[in-house]
């Protein structure tokens, strides 16, 4: 649905050139939710703004639904933008317009006849759950409600793609969750392809099928979200994963432990298998769980446990080998003393 080819965006500033996006290529299949994570200044905002030419890339190609946006005339580009919705961190609703008028503006831009606007706005408000606020002004709405209005505005002309520029970053955790649920619903029920950028791994965990990590204008790692969480390669990716799967053990606890400390990772269905209890029955070792968590990455479980194994050296080694065979992901945190 979206194909970005070798896109670079270079900004001319007084102090010289600043590279915003550095030769990025990526492809977002139809119907997917694609997340781009990175710290501020990584270029993710520039990249997503290149996808509807709010910023014109310095070089490269941006294809949306088979059309190269960079080759379009201003008029054709405006038409193309009607099928690319976008929402922002700051909502950006017109303060002098009611909820109705804000959404109707998008319809007006697309040349929808006034008589048909009312029905469509009502449908959209139904979808985002704000039918009772139709005549309110943005100043009378909460952050989450404003974002719902801006989602309704972005969806007004039945777009194929929805771009989300830090759409939940200004919202509190529970509002964030409800907006993410709404985005998921839009993706599933309307089949709209979603690209979102965020600095919160929580967002990726919740709804993204695929995830890309950006640093210094480049994509340093990308893949299915689950793989990124289960097996991050780059240091920065690990840092981001750590915000969700953090297993710091108190130093005192580590000192007090005499046995071998292992970190075990259970992926997918393994999380429900009785691997640990099998191991304990097979070998002459005793186990002691120090830390553990099961996270659901877009509904697939990923479990991580840290346990201490006590017993004879050979038995512990054999037990460890057994775990490695079944789990593939076993890491020794501290050897027995």
Q: Which residues bind other proteins (CB under 8 A)?
A: 52, 54, 78-82, 84-86, 88, 90, 92-97, 105-106, 108-110, 137-139, 150, 153-154, 156-157
Going by C-alpha positions, the residue among 278, 269, 213 that lies closest to residue 240 is: 213
Q: Least distance (Å) from other proteins to the CB of residue 89?
A: 9
Residue closer to other proteins by CB (options 120, 267) is 120
CB atoms under 10 Å from CB of 250, counted, come to 10
Residue closer to other proteins by CB (options 136, 218) is 136
Q: Least distance (Å) from other proteins to the CB of residue 133?
A: 14
Rounded Cα distance between 80 and 75, Å, is 9
Q: Least distance (Å) from other proteins to the CB of residue 99?
A: 12
Rounded Cα distance between 237 and 219, Å, is 11
Residue closer to other proteins by CB (options 106, 236) is 106
Residue closer to other proteins by CB (options 168, 210) is 168
Coil, strand or helix at 263: strand
Unique residue bearing structure tokens 């002309």: 157
Q: Least distance (Å) from other proteins to the CB of residue 4?
A: 17
Q: Least distance (Å) from other proteins to the CB of residue 108?
A: 7
Q: Is 67 exposed, middle or buried (0-12, 13-18, 19+ CB in 10 A)?
A: middle
Residue closer to other proteins by CB (options 77, 249) is 77
Residue closer to other proteins by CB (options 85, 144) is 85
**Residues in a beta bridge with 32:** none
Coil, strand or helix at 25: strand
Write out the two tokens for 120.
């469509």
Rounded Cα distance between 168 and 173, Å, is 9
Q: Least distance (Å) from other proteins to the CB of residue 12?
A: 12
215-to-114, 150, 201, 234 alpha-carbon distances in Å: 46, 29, 15, 11
């Amino acid at each position: 649905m979206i194909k970005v080819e070798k896109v670079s965006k270079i900004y001319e500033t007084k102090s010289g050139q600043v590279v915003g996006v550095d030769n990025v290529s990526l492809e977002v299949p139809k119907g997917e939710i694609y997340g781009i994570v990175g710290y501020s200044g990584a270029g993710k905002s520039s990249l997503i703004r290149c996808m509807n030419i709010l910023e014109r890339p310095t070089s490269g190609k941006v294809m949306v639904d088979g059309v190269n946006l960079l080759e379009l005339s201003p008029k054709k580009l405006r038409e193309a933008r009607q099928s690319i919705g976008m929402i922002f961190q700051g909502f950006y609703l017109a303060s002098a317009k009611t909820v109705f008028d804000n959404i109707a503006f998008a319809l007006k831009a697309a040349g929808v006849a006034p008589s048909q606007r009312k029905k469509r706005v009502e449908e959209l408000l139904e979808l985002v759950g704000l039918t009772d606020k139709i005549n309110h002004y943005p100043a009378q709405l909460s952050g989450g409600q404003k974002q719902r209005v801006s989602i309704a505005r972005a969806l007004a002309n039945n777009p194929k793609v929805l771009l989300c520029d830090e759409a939940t970053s200004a919202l509190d955790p529970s509002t964030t969750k409800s907006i993410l649920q709404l985005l998921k619903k839009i993706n599933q029920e309307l089949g709209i392809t979603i690209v979102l950028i965020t600095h919160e791994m929580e967002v990726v965990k919740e709804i993204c099928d695929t995830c890309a990590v950006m640093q210094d204008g480049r994509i340093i790692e990308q893949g299915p979200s689950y793989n990124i969480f289960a097996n991050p390669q780059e240091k920065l990716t690990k840092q981001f994963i750590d915000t969700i799967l953090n297993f710091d053990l108190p130093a005192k606890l580590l000192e007090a432990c005499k046995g071998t400390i292992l970190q075990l990772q259970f992926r997918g269905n393994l999380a429900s298998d009785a691997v640990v209890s099998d191991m304990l029955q097979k070998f002459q070792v005793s186990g002691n769980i120090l830390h553990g968590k099961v996270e659901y990455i877009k509904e697939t479980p990923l479990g991580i446990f840290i346990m201490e194994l006590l017993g004879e050296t050979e038995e512990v080694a054999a037990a460890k080998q057994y775990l490695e065979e079944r789990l593939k992901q076993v890491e020794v945190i501290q050897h027995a003393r």
